[in-house]
Amino acid sequence: MGSLRVTQALLPLLLQGQTKLIVDISSETGSIEQCSRDGWFAYCMSKAALNMQARLIHNGLKREGR
């Protein structure tokens, strides 16, 4: 949730600039197909959620033409 809140808070400033780039740091543990770590449930789930957040924000901004 922290990443989403920071992105939402800074998005108006980002959209005013010339370079529009949002960077999220994830890992293979966020991949449903490639996740092979037993017992890392919370970590894997949080990385998968971060990947979904990035995709949804990307799709929303693209749809708006930004």
34 vs 6, 30, 39, 65, CA distance in Å?
Answer: 28, 8, 15, 32
State the chain's mean pLDDT as an integer: 91
User: What φ, ψ does residue 49 adopt, rounded to 5°?
Assistant: -65, -40
- What are the structural domain ranges in the chain? 2-63
Nearest Cα to 7, choosing from 65, 60, 45?
60
The pLDDT, as a whole number, for residue 47 is: 93
Q: Please check the confidence at residue 9 and state whether its pLDDT lies above 90.
A: yes
The predicted model scores a pTM of 0.81
pLDDT tens for 32-58 read: 887 777 888 899 999 999 999 999 999
